């Protein structure tokens, strides 16, 4: 394809608002343009990348026996009401009314609509198993659309749904998706991890996420390099370190006594944070207890829950949400005061149960655990004072895994140190069970003629996230280095003097011959300076570059790979073969 005929508006300067590398380079390389917050135009070069990614996805989905169809994106609200998600989902859902005043929604995902179809069309166990997929638009009013196409409000998703008679069938469909996904991400040239992920409040069901390690990612995963354990930190258990008790904390504990005597109070004027209190008392953060008040949303009774963590540990809100089986949010300062009667900085566990609050302590504080029964410093529930408290003696609490795994803590499987990696979620797979088939009436008759709800799975991939993650993982200071399978073109043919007839003849011949050998070639025939064209070639990042310049008089062209590798001179008659071999070797 001639660049002069391709609409490829590259830009010299970085866009002002771009944080992520992929955002910056995809704008500059002429791949995308922002239309509005979280809404993007995909330009011809970007669309070529998307098409290649979607093609790989289709090939691998077809290979596991999935069949492609296309679902509407405009839905009457009633299917969403049937599943309960119309009520459960908040502002993330785009809602509208039709001219008759009926409630409608724009598709955020398609579990309901696929279950609706299955309910009408699948009758018998003989119709099973089924895996249906589509590559279709999704609309989500994301609270924080990110720069670039990583988190947008309208995006393409490959989503598939499996329908089986029983758990064993679901297991098989799930395993097929693991196979397909492993191949899709590998073929797209991504470095990726398959990690265990949170399956929501329902518990039990299994889910995995596919994660591309990148500093631009919004998720974190805990990984064990020794045994291969990998899980999202919203789920990952870890073996905490148990530092010895600071002498000052030990003294407080002894003076308070381990039986009967009760907590010992110390004055802590204006010392509110963990760091302030620890340094004021000469103890370590790990000698303190953090008291965090949360609001459980959507429950009538017990609106508040108090999470207790060791001072050096961080709460993962999803772990708390899973434990209390409801969405949670931090209580505001006013809510804390209303619930406890105390200002946040001096809040502590002693006496809160008596005020009707539910207390949940992280496992690291469990007196029956490795820490044993020991003293900690916690807020005294009165201004400017803290207490030395012993869990179980001075207050009672439920025990649960609440803290976020930290780098260097022990792997839950083998005990070796965990690594924490920043990642981009590029796909996920999810065992739904009968969550949607029951409310939407998707049942079939089994061998005995008995009606049974379909057992479903759902599986998503964001093609644009694959593209952006690939850029995050493959670039240098000059531009993108596309993995060859998803590059917009295989070869970029740069003709330096467009008014030179010999150069035009050689470039045309190379273009045609390479194309007929199966490679896609972008022939830069634009009337621009050589420096401009070279810079664009680096920015756009196709795997192989051929330069047709003054050397054609000696029968030579130049060639190099975008990802490292030396520039070489090649005879024109050998250039096609050499370009093919460079492309073969490219990653």
**Cβ 458 to ligand ATP, closest distance in Å?**
8
> Could you tell me the two tokens for 413?
């499987």
CB distance 418 to 411 below 8 Å: yes
Query: Does residue 177 interact with ligand ATP by CB under 6 A?
Result: no
Give whichever of 49 and 399 is closer to ligand ATP, judged by the CB atom.
49
**Cβ 142 to ligand ATP, closest distance in Å?**
5
Nearest to 432 by CA among 164, 57, 183, 231: 164
Q: Which stretch binds ligand ATP (CB under 6 A): 43-51, 55-63, 118-126, 459-467?
A: 459-467
CB distance 115 to 453 below 8 Å: no
Query: Does residue 465 interact with ligand ATP by CB under 6 A?
Result: yes
- What is the distance of C-alpha 224 from the center of its chain? 19
Q: How many CB atoms lie within 10 A of CB 300?
A: 5
Q: Is 498 exposed, middle or buried (0-12, 13-18, 19+ CB in 10 A)?
A: middle
- Applying CB under 6 A, which of residues 34, 109, 232, 286 lies at the interface with ligand ATP? 109
**Cβ 107 to ligand ATP, closest distance in Å?**
11
DSSP state of 563: S
Distance CA 172, CA 179 (A): 11
Q: Per-residue x/- mask for ligand ATP, residues 385 to 424, rule CB under 6 A?
A: ----------------------------------------
Residue written as token pair 């410093």: 377
What is the sign of the dihedral through the CA atoms of 181, 41, 147 and 88?
negative
Query: Does residue 586 interact with ligand ATP by CB under 6 A?
Result: no
Query: Does residue 32 interact with ligand ATP by CB under 6 A?
Result: no
Q: In sequence order, what are the beta bridge partners of 292?
A: 307
Nearest to 138 by CA among 157, 123, 125: 157
Q: Beta strand pairing status for 398-400 and 154-164?
A: unpaired
Give DSSP secondary structure letters for 301-348.
S--EEEEEEETT--B-HHHHHHHHTS-EEEPPHHHHHHHHSS-GGG--
How many amino acids of this chain bind ligand ATP (CB under 6 A)?
16
Q: Which stretch binds ligand ATP (CB under 6 A): 162-170, 224-232, 457-465, 552-560?
A: 457-465
> Could you tell me the two tokens for 200?
């929501």
Give whichever of 291 and 428 is closer to ligand ATP, judged by the CB atom.
428
Give whichever of 190 and 420 is closer to ligand ATP, judged by the CB atom.
190
- Applying CB under 6 A, which of residues 48, 140, 187, 313 lies at the interface with ligand ATP? 140
> Could you tell me the two tokens for 185?
């991400």
**Cβ 470 to ligand ATP, closest distance in Å?**
13
Give whichever of 217 and 348 is closer to ligand ATP, judged by the CB atom.
217
Radius of gyration of the chain (CA): 30
> Could you tell me the two tokens for 362?
């992280």
- Applying CB under 6 A, which of residues 1, 54, 152, 165 lies at the interface with ligand ATP? 152
- What is the distance of C-alpha 167 from the center of its chain? 27
CB distance 390 to 351 below 8 Å: no
Give whichever of 151 and 237 is closer to ligand ATP, judged by the CB atom.
151
Give whichever of 57 and 274 is closer to ligand ATP, judged by the CB atom.
57
Q: Which stretch binds ligand ATP (CB under 6 A): 290-298, 348-356, 458-466, 494-502?
A: 458-466
**Cβ 417 to ligand ATP, closest distance in Å?**
27
CB distance 118 to 79 below 8 Å: no
Contacts (Cβ under 8 Å, ≥6 apart) of 198: 207, 232, 234, 235, 318, 322
Planar angle of CA 222, 138, 230, nearest 5 degrees: 10
Query: Does residue 213 interact with ligand ATP by CB under 6 A?
Result: no
Query: Does residue 472 interact with ligand ATP by CB under 6 A?
Result: no
Give whichever of 136 and 474 is closer to ligand ATP, judged by the CB atom.
136
- Applying CB under 6 A, which of residues 142, 196, 265, 343 lies at the interface with ligand ATP? 142
DSSP state of 454: P
Q: In sequence order, what are the beta bridge partners of 6?
A: none
Query: Does residue 155 interact with ligand ATP by CB under 6 A?
Result: yes
Query: Does residue 195 interact with ligand ATP by CB under 6 A?
Result: no
Q: Per-residue x/- mask for ligand ATP, residues 421 to 450, rule CB under 6 A?
A: ----xxxx----------------------
Q: Which stretch binds ligand ATP (CB under 6 A): 296-304, 307-315, 455-463, 512-520?
A: 455-463
Query: Does residue 462 interact with ligand ATP by CB under 6 A?
Result: yes
**Cβ 217 to ligand ATP, closest distance in Å?**
9
Distance CA 3, CA 524 (A): 5
**Cβ 209 to ligand ATP, closest distance in Å?**
7
**Which residue minimizes CB distance to ligand ATP?**
462
Give whichever of 75 and 465 is closer to ligand ATP, judged by the CB atom.
465
Query: Does residue 136 interact with ligand ATP by CB under 6 A?
Result: no
Nearest to 39 by CA among 137, 159, 135: 137
Interhelix angle 44-63/463-473, nearest 10 degrees: 110
Give whichever of 465 and 533 is closer to ligand ATP, judged by the CB atom.
465
Would you put residue 298 in left (φ > 0), alpha (ψ -120 to 50) or beta?
A: left
Instruction: Please give the span between the terminal C-alpha atoms of the chain, in angstroms, as a whole number.
Output: 23
- Applying CB under 6 A, which of residues 54, 57, 61, 157 lies at the interface with ligand ATP? 157
Query: Does residue 460 interact with ligand ATP by CB under 6 A?
Result: yes
Nearest to 547 by CA among 476, 561, 539: 561
**Cβ 119 to ligand ATP, closest distance in Å?**
22
**Cβ 196 to ligand ATP, closest distance in Å?**
14
**Cβ 518 to ligand ATP, closest distance in Å?**
30
Q: What is the binding site for ligand ATP (CB under 6 A)?
A: 109, 140, 142, 151-152, 155, 157, 425-428, 460-462, 464-465
């Amino acid at each position: 394809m001639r660049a002069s005929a391709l609409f490829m508006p590259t830009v010299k300067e970085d866009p002002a608002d771009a944080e992520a590398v992929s955002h910056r380079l995809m704008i500059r390389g002429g791949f995308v343009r922002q239309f509005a917050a979280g809404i993007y135009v995909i330009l011809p070069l970007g669309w070529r990348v998307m098409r290649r990614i979607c093609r790989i996805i289709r090939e691998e989905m077809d290979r596991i026996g999935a069949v492609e169809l296309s679902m509407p994106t405009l839905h009457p609200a009633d299917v969403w009401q049937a599943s309960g998600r119309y009520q459960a989902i908040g502002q993330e859902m785009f809602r509208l009314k039709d001219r008759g005043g009926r409630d409608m929604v724009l598709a955020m995902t398609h579990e309901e609509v696929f279950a609706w179809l299955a309910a009408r069309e699948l009758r018998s166990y003989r119709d099973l198993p089924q895996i249906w997929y589509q590559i279709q638009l999704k609309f989500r009013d994301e609270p924080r659309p990110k720069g670039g196409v990583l988190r947008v409000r309208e995006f393409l998703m490959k989503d598939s749904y499996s329908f089986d008679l029983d758990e064993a069938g679901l297991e098989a469909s799930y395993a097929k998706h693991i196979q397909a996904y492993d191949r899709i991400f590998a073929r797209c040239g991504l470095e990726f991890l398959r990690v265990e992920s949170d399956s929501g409040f329902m518990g039990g069901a299994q889910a995995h996420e596919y994660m591309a390690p990148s500093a631009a990612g919004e998720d974190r995963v805990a990984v064990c390099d020794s045994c291969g354990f990998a899980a999202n930190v919203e789920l990952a258990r870890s073996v905490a370190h148990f530092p010895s008790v600071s002498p000052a904390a030990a003294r407080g504990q002894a003076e308070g006594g381990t039986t009967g005597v009760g907590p010992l109070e110390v004055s802590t004027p204006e010392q509110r944070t963990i760091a302030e209190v620890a340094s004021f008392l000469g103890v370590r953060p790990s000698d303190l207890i953090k008291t965090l008040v949360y609001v459980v949303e959507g429950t009538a009774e017990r609106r508040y829950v108090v999470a207790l963590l060791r001072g050096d540990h961080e709460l993962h809100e999803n772990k708390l949400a899973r434990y209390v089986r409801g969405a949670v949010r931090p209580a505001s300062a006013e809510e804390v005061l209303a619930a406890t009667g105390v200002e946040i900085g001096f809040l502590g566990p002693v006496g809160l149960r008596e005020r009707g609050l539910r207390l949940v302590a992280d496992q690291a504080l469990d007196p029956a655990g490795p820490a044993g029964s020991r003293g900690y410093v916690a807020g005294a529930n009165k201004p400017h004072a803290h207490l030395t408290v012993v869990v179980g003696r001075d207050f009672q609490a439920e025990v649960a895994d609440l803290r976020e795994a930290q780098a260097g803590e022990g792997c839950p499987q083998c005990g070796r140190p965990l690594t924490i990696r920043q990642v981009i979620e590029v796909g996920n797979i999810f065992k739904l069970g009968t969550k949607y088939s029951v409310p939407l009436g998707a049942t079939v008759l089994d061998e005995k003629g008995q009606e049974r709800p379909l057992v479903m799975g759902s599986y998503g991939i964001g093609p644009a996230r694959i593209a952006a993650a690939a850029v995050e993982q493959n670039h240098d200071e000059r531009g993108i280095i596309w993995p060859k399978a998803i590059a917009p073109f295989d070869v970029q043919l740069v003709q330096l003097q467009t008014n030179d007839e010999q150069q035009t003849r050689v470039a045309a011949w190379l273009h045609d011959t390479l194309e007929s050998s199966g490679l896609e070639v972008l022939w830069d025939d634009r009337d621009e300076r050589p420096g401009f064209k070279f810079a664009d070639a680096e920015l756009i990042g196709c795997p192989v570059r051929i330069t047709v310049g003054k050397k054609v008089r000696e029968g030579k062209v130049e060639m190099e790979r975008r990802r490292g590798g030396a520039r070489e001179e090649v005879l024109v008659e050998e250039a096609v073969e050499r370009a093919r071999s460079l492309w073969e070797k490219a990653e």
